[in-house]
Amino acid sequence: MVTAAQPLTYPLSVRHLGPNWYATVMGTAVVATAGATLPPHVPGLRGVLVGVWALSLALLLTLLAGRAAHWARHRDRARAHLLDPATAPFYGCLAMALLAVGGGALTVGRDWIGLRAAVALDAVLFTAGTVLGLAAAVAVPYLMAVRHRVEPGQATPVWLLPLVAPMVSAAVGPPLVPHLPPGQARETLLLGCFALFGLSLLATLVMLPMVFARLLTGGPLPLALTPTLFLVLGPLGQSTTAVDAFADVAPGVVPEPYSEGFDALPVLYGVPVMGFALLWFCLAAAHVLRARRHGMRFSMTWWSFTFPVGTCVTGAEALGRHTGLIAYAGPAVVLYAVLVAAWGTAVVGTVRGLLRGGLLAAPGPAPAVPRPVTVRTTSGAVR
């Protein structure tokens, strides 16, 4: 019998529900949107993609409610997350989750809810996601500078998350342009998305060398963090998707010769960036295989295999459309197969972790850091 003096404990308590859980929404939404852009038209696939998008919407609503309860009931943990340099960057995932579901509404969700409702939902989520993304892009680096105590050796790809959110806005915003009144409104949204593209790109170019230098000089990342190497693909694939979206809507929105400039961006920018994305994909995959051999187990970082790879799918597919080359359309299909496999693996691991209660349990104590050993040599020097 349970008495009043014995409080009940629930393994699914929201006390330890962190902002990293929004990655499940991002990863699910991109499966739907990336699949809708692929050249092969498989019978029945569209209906499956609509169902996947509906699942991402349900996940978003569930997590928004859970995080609201987290802030209301466990404000101490919520503040601790903001002051934790390992957790604070994940606040960028909230903005990207809103944007991913909003973009999916216009891509595939309209088949279920109708075009008018899809445009309205996308407009609301795009606005909220963009505002929150800009706030995260400013607030998280500010906290890292004035409150967090970080060193160059602690740099991980997670630091990129709040900086990538404006790039997601830049990629999902252009499809809304044709639904605005002609003239100032359309041009303002297009150039605003282009400004977000530049903001995120330049910030990423500042941060990425720190991550790369840490990887080369500090050795491999800890096993649990190794999947986050795939996060670097996010700004690469998403920026390529963005420039293709600019080229699609620029004619008639901005005057010549600027529309011609937008039309040239997919090839002049997207081709070399996707080349670097291929290099990083191979490098990250090699690190993951090594970590797997050394005993890497499932954790929520495995969701890093989903959204970033999905952005490379949409980027490669868009390049295939603009260049007409099978060299891009083919890899887009292969990458989508990788995305689906990674998403299925992450879903199974997450469900299993929830049922066992481990994913939402209190974090274990940090491992003790061994104290340096000093040895006195015969000359009297200490090493």
Sign of CA dihedral 184, 190, 196, 202: negative
Summarised one tens digit per residue, pLDDT across range 356-376 is: 877 876 665 444 433 433 433
146 band by pLDDT with thresholds 50, 70 and 90: confident
pLDDT for the residue numbered 218: 86
Contacts of 249 (CB under 8 A, 6+ apart): 174, 175, 177, 178, 186, 190
- What's the whole-number mean pLDDT along residues 109-132? 96
Shortest CA distance to 312 belongs to which of 230, 233, 242? 233
* Percent of residues, the chain, with pLDDT higher than 70: 91
The superfamily CATH assigns to domain 14-351 is Voltage-dependent anion channel (1.50.10.150)
What is the DSSP track for 175-221? GGGGGSPTTHHHHHHHHHHHHHHHHHHHHHHHHHHHHHHHHHHH-SP
Is-contact 17 66, C-beta < 8 A? yes
Q: Is 54 left (phi over 0), alpha (psi -120 to 50) or beta?
A: alpha
pLDDT for the residue numbered 83: 81
Summarised one tens digit per residue, pLDDT across range 202-243 is: 999 999 999 999 888 888 999 999 999 999 999 999 999 999
Is the omega angle on the peptide bond into residue 257 within 30 degrees of 0, that is, cis? Answer: yes
Distance CA 163, CA 203 (A): 6
Summarised one tens digit per residue, pLDDT across range 295-325 is: 999 999 999 999 999 999 999 999 999 888 8
Domain map of the chain by residue range?
A: 14-351
Return the DSSP state at 156: -
